[in-house]
Structure 1
Amino acid sequence: MTHGAGGPMDTRPVVRRGVPEGSEARVAALYWEAFGRKLGAALNPPDKARAFLAAHLHLDRGVTALVDGEVAGVAGYRLDGRGLTGGGAADVLEAYGVLRGLPRLALLVLFERRPADRELVMDGIAVAPGHRGTGIGGLLLREIAAVAAEAGCRRIRLDVIDVNPRARALYERHGFVAVHTEKTPYLRGLMGFGAATTMHRPVTAADFPHNQEAR
């Protein structure tokens, strides 16, 4: 939004549900910048990986922060069997071929996280480098909590890897508590991390939008 012709731009983030159509490539690029180290062994080379992610997004399973109309941050979630990042086995084999696709599928299975009953699983959070430290991460997490509350979920679950302490600190500031750490030293050389911590956050009445009563 502008303040008159030639005036300064309003750079305050606007949080909205869903990924705007036409922003698929932007969101895929943000995801790859945030998680490329983790997903590289399964989806490299980078250009192909970004194209694959963009082609298989479920736009209704994301929350975005827009600055001047551009996606500056995105948080994905898995609910009712669908997450922001999609693409099944057939899609992987079509994109990479059978010989190269099969080992990639074996790696992608390691990242599969199925929600428990009345649980929302976060599918990653990514903020553009130029917008980090501006509070966008917290805004996205609060909107994810509202989504979970409206869906009747009792808790939110996510996994954070050991080489991302900044993300873990953000989650802890917003009520997430570590419940289990799985050490995966065999993945350090391949994917760049050696442990993943599962964190939970309960959904409370305060997470409902102000104009809606808790169910």
Structure 2
Amino acid sequence: MAEATGGPIVIGREVPAGAEERVAELYWEAFGRKLGPALGPPEAGRRFLAAHLHRDRAVVALVGGAVVGVAGYQLDGRGLTGGDTRAVLDAYGLFRGLPRLALLALLERTPAAGELVMDGIAVDAGHRGGGIGGMLLEEVVRLAADHGRSTVRLDVIDTNPRARALYERRGFTAGPTQRTPYLRRLMGFTAVTTMRRSTDGRPTGRGADGHG
């Protein structure tokens, strides 16, 4: 079992009860620049994420019982970060909520047949560099295989080369890149690359879909 400061690293397949706010904090730290226009300001965004988490749609890394890393995924129509149209309107009101729904729609991705979509990895700053990201990725691949999925898909933005390097080291192959210059000022990125990895170790083909 791998070790980290504070004890061994334990990988689980569900967000522990009571850790919703911690997971929301980690997710906002990692993806707040992208999520901010839709769910911000930060305090409101973290509160919304915590209130609408699907705890069974994540792989987590625990040290001493505390969540230090999380990888969310979509499966059977549900992802880690929930909240439907009514939830957004209730939280932000009609006039502020409608444009936020339009922004969230830009971030939605629909899995293809036999595909599990991963929503990204967030690791606590004090535990980065210790292999937790790779451990989470490998568990997501195993989980996808356990659910009969042949491929794991993720989308990585051009301003996160560190994440892309991790995915490549773990066997993900880059596919098409969708240019999104219209999102640069709003969400801080100008391109999204789709990456895939087979759950049985075989090379994946270059898909035709992008960030959607």
Q: Which range moved further: 155-164 or 10-19?
A: 10-19
Could you tell me how far 1:12 is from its partner in structure 2?
A: 2.2
Which residue, 171, 174, 179 being the options, matches 2:175?
179
Q: Secondary structure at the match of 2:182?
A: helix
Instruction: Measure the CA separation in 2 of the matches of 1:185 and 1:58.
Output: 32
Asked if 1:133 is matched to 2:129, the reply is yes
In the alignment, structure 1 segments of 5+ residues that lack a partner are 1-8, 207-215
2:158 matched to 1:147?
Answer: no
CA distance in 2, matches of 1:195, 1:145: 25
**Structure 2 letter corresponding to 1:49:** G
Partners of 2:201 and 2:43 in 1: CA distance:
43
Alignment of 1:33-72 (within 5 A): 33-72=29-68
Q: Which amino acid aligns with 1:131?
A: H
Structure 1 letter corresponding to 2:44: K
Counterparts of 2:176 and 2:86 in 1: how far apart (Å)? Answer: 32
Partner SS state of residue 36, structure 2: helix
- Identity in percent: 66
User: Which of the residues 104, 110, 126 maps onto 1:108?
Assistant: 104
The match for 2:20 is: 24
- Segments of 5+ residues of structure 2 without an aligned counterpart are 203-212
| Deviation, structure 1 residue 123 | 1.5
Measured against aligned partners, the alpha-carbon deviations of 1:118-163 in whole angstroms (never above 9, x if no partner) come to: 1000022100000000000000001001100000111000000000
Q: Displacement, 1:10?
A: 4.9
What corresponds to 2:207 in structure 1?
none
Structure label with greater radius of gyration? 1
Q: Give the whole-Å Cα distance in 1 for the aligned partners of 2:80 and 2:39.
A: 16
* Greater mean deviation of Cα atoms: 25-34 or 9-18: 9-18
The equivalences for 1:86-105 within 5 A come to 86-105=82-101
TM-score, normalised with respect to structure 1: 0.90
TM-score (norm 2): 0.91
Give the residue type in structure 1 aligned to 2:128.
R
Task: Report the count of equivalent residues.
Answer: 198
